[in-house]
Structure 1
Amino acid sequence: MGGDRGQARERLRELPPVFSYRMAIDAGIAKSKLYRLRDEGFIETVGRGRFRVTDAELPPDLELHEIAQRAPEATICLVSALSRHDLTDQIPAAIDIAIPRGRRRPVIEAPVAWHSFDPETFDIGHTELELDEETVIGLYGPERSIIDAFRLRHLEGHELAVEALKRWLRRPGSSPAALLAMARDFPKARPALQTALEILL
């Protein structure tokens, strides 16, 4: 019995700092052993169906870990993405997360503002943010985030989009031509974006 528990402990230490119930089961740890280790204090619950080894350091982006584990296609977008790229000083009350239209929105504890994006353009400008050695979450790059700010300016306001564009233009290597080329796939954004560029340049 003790040997089994020891093996379970070693397997848990091989998982990411915060892991889900499903990840533990997939690692070969029986439900009864998982909850026994919790009752013994070896692991602790950090959210609905999520755990960590008690002496393991909590990751800085705990909420993003939960989102990444519950929604593998989740991608940080809009104000949250602009903030990550230092293109706005706004701090959103909830994390802006895009998923392809038609996908189920998981129930999670983190404060999330869900956005459904067209599956055909979902991967344009898509990058990844590494949370730890084993966990990544989608993140739209600066150009795509600016395009989305113009495309969805009725949600966040025209000022957000223009300010992000101004900051981006001040950066070495920023290419308005490349930005407009990406915007071709977003007809709702391109006219307003082109007008703003003509004013600012």
Structure 2
Amino acid sequence: MPQTPSQREIAHDLLATHGILRLAELRDAGVTAATVSRMEKDGEVIRLARGLYQLPDAELDANHSLAEAAKRFPKGVICLVSALAFHGLTDQLPKKVWMAIGRNDWTPKPSDMPIRVLRFSDDLLADSVETHVIEGVSVKVFGVAKTVADCFRHRGKIGLPVALEGLQEALRQRKATPAEIARAADIGGVGTVIRPYLEALTANG
């Protein structure tokens, strides 16, 4: 008869497959909190944050923090500077993960992971969402045109130079067309704000 895998083996296999797991997910698979605690003490797993675990030898993606944030807040969408960085549209290295959640979504408690949460209306939260797999985790990120428009919408929080850099790079790298950006800006209510910059950047072809 095949031997029943131990809780440690189950936890190891799951983490090897999925990259990052919540304690609740490990418990659902039959691994007790006590086992996970012992594994952490023995160096078999590392605790990224409260209730969030990973194997110590896991290959970290450059976007590791986005995977960690998405695991903690599955309803959230990566936005603003974090989305610009993900799409390769800024030299900024955000010290925190910028994440959009719904108006009535549960507010994340302060934790050892720096996450900056913004509340979006349901319409704006559902618009132009892409799903990317990072370290085995499905991560929702706003598309390029919407990210640029959102940066102008929240320029008071991130600074106009960052929003302008995102716009310039999106056009230069041809990751979004002027028409796509203008449409996203209109939907976000910043069409009149972004248009002069868009016209100036596209005037020379």
Question: TM-score normalised by the shorter chain: which range applies?
Answer: 0.7 to 0.9
Once residues 41 and 199 of structure 1 are traced to their aligned partners in structure 2, the CA distance between those partners, rounded to angstroms, is 56
Which sections of structure 1, spanning at least 5 residues, go unmatched?
none
* 1:1-201 to 2 correspondences below 5 Å: 6-12=5-11, 13-15=13-15, 16-39=18-41, 41-54=43-56, 56-60=57-61, 61-107=63-109, 108-133=111-136, 135-172=137-174, 174-187=176-189, 189-200=190-201, 201=203
How many pairs were matched up?
A: 195
Cα distance change on mapping 1:165 and 1:9 into 2, 3 Å: same
Which is worse superposed, 73-82 or 154-163?
A: 154-163
TM-score by length of 2: 0.82
- Which AA in structure 1 matches 2:33? K
Instruction: For 1:153 and 1:194, locate their aligned partners in 2 and report how far apart those are by CA, in whole Å.
Output: 15
The amino acid of 2:162's aligned partner reads L
Residue aligned with 2:106, SS: coil
1:142-162 per-position Cα deviation (integer Å, ceiling 9, x unaligned): 111110111111222222222
Residue by residue over 1:34-81, the C-alpha shift from the partner in whole angstroms, topping out at 9 and shown as x without a partner, is 444445554443331223345x42533443333222210122111111
Which secondary structure state, in structure 2, belongs to the residue aligned with residue 161 of structure 1? helix
The Cα shift of 1:185 comes to: 1.5
After TM superposition, which residue ranges in structure 1, 4 or more long, deviate above 6 angstroms?
none
What's the % identity of the aligned pairs? 26
